[in-house]
Amino acid sequence: MQTKPDLDEARRVLQEVFGFADFRPGQAEILQAVLDGDDILAIMPTGAGKSLCYQLPALLRPGLTVVVSPLIALMRDQVEQLKQRGVPAAALNSTNSGQDNAMIEAALLKGRYRLVYVAPERFVRADTLSMLRRAGADLLAIDEAHCVSQWGHDFRPEYRALGESLVALGRPQIVAVTATADGPTRAEIMERLFPAEPRQFIRSFDRPNLRLAMQRKHKPVQQILAMIARHKGESGIIYCASRKGVEKLTEILSAQGIFALPYHAGLAPEIRAAHQDMFVRHENVVIVATIAFGMGIDKPDVRFVCHADLPGSIEAYYQEIGRAGRDGLPADTLTLFGEADIRLRERQIEDNDAAPERKRLDRRKLQELIALCETPRCRRQTLLAAFGEQSEPCGNCDICEGRWPLFDGVVAAQKVMSAILRTSGRFFSGHLAHLLIGHATEAIKRHSHDLLPTFGVGREFTLSEWRSIFHQLHALNLIEQDEEDRDRWCLTQGGRAVLRGEAELTLRGEMALPTGRSADIRK
């Protein structure tokens, strides 16, 4: 009987074929499990080296490895890299000519390839499945597995059918990998892609070399220019929420003599490819892009990522900043957010005719993101906590660096909380801010909130400062949305302690201190 390949053999192939000295953290355990024949779900941060977890076994096992991958560009890069290493690999997708695809299929049936990458919509076709089965496919790798989740930000309907294709393919071993999976997404991946519970490997999401910072937009262009100035001659990505934003910002930056190139889905494919190529090849290109840019781009030395607008969600934020510093060297991130961004996102959620359950989840995700923007606590702690990870203050974020003025927030918190209680938790930050400041808006009058004792007790702060305080209380888990009734705010146990004056509370001001000054930092 043939013995199973072991880790020593895997290490030999790692060195001889891939030219890497050793495994990266996490890879060895996953490879061992793949070689043992287990079904696997691996959640590892971007840049951790997930591809190797199926590419290397493909070389050690007798059968054909099929990789389903959502992006043609990503497929092409991986196949190119494999070919350069002398690994016979091919891709079946819609950018090949019909003739190319037919030739690849013929070669597959002759056993010419170790790996074949297939676009999901093609993979699920009955003819493709039957061809792959005849070609001896027995390992199915699913890249970017979170695309199966309709709660996720990259939902791909074709991924839904993957689970049902398994029988037609003859029940291959499954290795699903992703960088993004919070609890609900993880559960959905397991349910949709695996016939039985897989072995799970979850590596820390921490990317300690990324400096994290978030700022309210006050002079966004200046804020972005300051970031670029700190990284003269280095590569960076600036994400904008819209194509128009991309165009405008590219113009502004170019006028300042910065080598900036736009990237968005409205540009011709050749232009996009050319700009991406410039970015990857050169060291000093700043790419100004919508979120259309980035998935699958393997550029290790991106030194900064900036969000000119609020990102789509915490996961999107994490994935986008994750494109910086893949080489492990220090890299800088800055996220700008504004009240208009938040309003726009709220409107998009409300105007969307999604199911109520979905809307509620979207609202909650937005709240979490805003809470991260407004948090008085270490950014990394807050970010990792959103992925279920406990950690200590990091020392490498704007909050830890003491760039924000801090103040004793007990009284302010008590005012917000009593406003919440007096309005039965039915109203959100904007309404409560008007209430505290004593603005008799239409809504305030309609609900007779101008008659409440809390009306006008908070004139010491501005509207947006109150909003910020509200979000900070949420970030600190002092207030939360009711479990049953998500449209209702209530106080947590910690919140009640602050309300009774039994706990201390430090909040932060709304504007970061000018660089160089440092605030009294109390945790």
Binding site for Zn ion (CB under 5 A): 378, 380, 394, 397, 400
Contact call for residue 46 and ligand ADP (CB under 6 A): yes
> Tokens standing for 466?
């109150």
Give the DSSP H or E segment for 214: strand 214-216
Q: Tell me the sheet residues that pair with 93.
A: none
In the list 30, 41, 52, 227, the residue contacting ligand ADP (rule: CB under 6 A) is 52
Residue 29 interacting with ligand ADP (CB under 6 A):
no
CA 230/CA 218 separation, integer angstroms: 19
CB of 390 to ligand ADP, least distance (A): 23
- Return d(Cα 45, Cα 138) in angstroms, integer: 26
- Can you tell me the distance from the alpha carbon of 311 to that of 330, in angstroms, rounded to the nearest whole number? 22
* Burial (0-12, 13-18, 19+ Cβ within 10 Å), 337: buried
Least CB distance to Zn ion at residue 136 (A): 50
Residues whose CB is less than 8 angstroms from the CB of residue 268 and which lie 6 or more positions away in sequence, other chains included: none
Query: Which phi and psi (to 5°) does residue 426 adopt?
Result: -90, -5
CB of residue 335 to Zn ion, shortest distance in Å: 14
336: β partners = 215
Site for ligand ADP in 277-336 (CB under 6 A): 298
Report how far residue 289's alpha carbon sits from residue 303's, in angstroms, rounded to the nearest whole number. Answer: 16
From 43-51, 241-249, 267-275, 496-504, give the range in contact with ligand ADP by CB under 6 A.
Answer: 43-51
Please choose which of Zn ion, ligand ADP, none residue 47 contacts, taking the beta carbon within 5 to 8 angstroms, the exact cut-off set by kind. ligand ADP
* Residue 47 touches ligand ADP, criterion: CB under 6 A: yes
Q: Which does 378 bind (CB under 5 to 8 A by kind): ligand ADP, Zn ion, none?
A: Zn ion
Out of ligand ADP, Zn ion, none, what residue 52 binds, judged by CB under 5 to 8 A for its kind, is ligand ADP
- The Cα angle at residue 176 between residues 172 and 181, in degrees rounded to 5: 150
Site membership for ligand ADP, residue 70 (CB under 6 A) = no
Residue 51 found at the interface with ligand ADP (CB under 6 A):
yes
Q: Which is nearer to Zn ion, 381 or 429 (CB)?
A: 381
**Candidate residues 7, 9, 17, 24; the one interacting with ligand ADP per rule CB under 6 A:** 24
Nearest-10 Cα torsion for 43, 323, 385, 506: 170
**Least CB distance to Zn ion at residue 251 (A):** 35
Q: Which residue is nearest to ligand ADP (CB)?
A: 49
Nearest to ligand ADP of 119, 308 (CB atom)? 119
Q: Which does 333 bind (CB under 5 to 8 A by kind): Zn ion, ligand ADP, none?
A: none
* 428: contact with ligand ADP by CB under 6 A: no
Minimum distance between the CB of residue 411 and Zn ion, rounded to whole angstroms?
A: 26
Nearest-approach distance from CB 379 to Zn ion, in angstroms: 5
SS3 annotation, 224-275: HHHHHHCCCCCEEEEECCCHHHHHHHHHHHHHCCCCEEEECCCCCHHHHHHH
Q: Is 101 in the site for ligand ADP (CB under 6 A)?
A: no
Coil, helix or strand for 117? Answer: strand
Q: How many residues make contact with ligand ADP (CB under 6 A)?
A: 13
- The per-residue b/e assignment along 218-255, b for 16 or more CB within 10 angstroms, e otherwise, is eebeebbeebbeebeebbbbbbbbebebbbbbbebbee
- Residue selected from 5, 49, 220, 458 as contacting ligand ADP according to rule CB under 6 A: 49
CA dihedral 70, 292, 372, 155 (to 10 degrees): -30
Asked if residue 423 binds ligand ADP (CB under 6 A), the reply is: no
- Under the binding rule (CB under 6 A), the answer on residue 117 touching ligand ADP is no
User: Which of residues 315 and 401 has its CB atom nearest to ligand ADP in the complex?
Assistant: 315
Residue 50 binding: pick among ligand ADP, Zn ion, none (C-beta 5-8 Å cut-off by kind): ligand ADP
Smaller CB separation from Zn ion, 394 or 473? 394
Question: Exactly one of 23, 205, 263, 318 binds ligand ADP (CB under 6 A); which one?
Answer: 23
Nearer residue to ligand ADP within complex by CB, 53 or 416: 53
Residues 6+ apart with CB under 8 A from 512: 215, 398, 403, 404
For the chain, the residue count is 523
Is residue 57 a contact residue for ligand ADP (CB under 6 A)? Answer: no
> Which of the listed partners (Zn ion, ligand ADP, none) does 48 bind, with a CB threshold of 5 to 8 Å by partner kind?
ligand ADP
CB of 46 to ligand ADP, least distance (A): 4
Binding string, residues 456-485; x marks residues near ligand ADP by CB under 6 A = ------------------------------
| Only segment of 48-56, 119-127, 304-312, 357-365 that touches ligand ADP (CB under 6 A) | 48-56
Kindly state the DSSP code that residue 397 receives in the 8-state scheme: B
Helices (H) and strands (E) in the chain, counts: 22, 18
Q: Which two tokens stand for residue 336?
A: 């700008």
The CB density around residue 171, as the number of other CB atoms within 10 Å, is 11
Q: How far is CA 171 from CA 34, 168, 371, in A?
A: 15, 7, 43
In 3D space, the residue among 260, 261, 268, 486 whose CA is nearest the CA of residue 367 turns out to be 486
Asked if residues 131 and 103 have their Cβ atoms less than 8 Å apart, the reply is no
Binder of residue 172, out of Zn ion, ligand ADP, none (CB less than 5 to 8 A by kind): none
Nearest distance from C-beta of residue 479 to ligand ADP, angstroms: 36
| Closest approach of ligand ADP to the CB of residue 315, in Å | 14
Residue 412 DSSP symbol: H
Binding-site partner at residue 397 among ligand ADP, Zn ion, none, CB < 5 to 8 Å by type = Zn ion
400 binds, among Zn ion, ligand ADP, none (CB under 5 to 8 A by kind): Zn ion
- What is the rounded CA–CA span in Å between residue 523 and residue 506? 8
Contacts with ligand ADP by CB under 6 A lie at: 20, 23-24, 27, 44, 46-52, 298
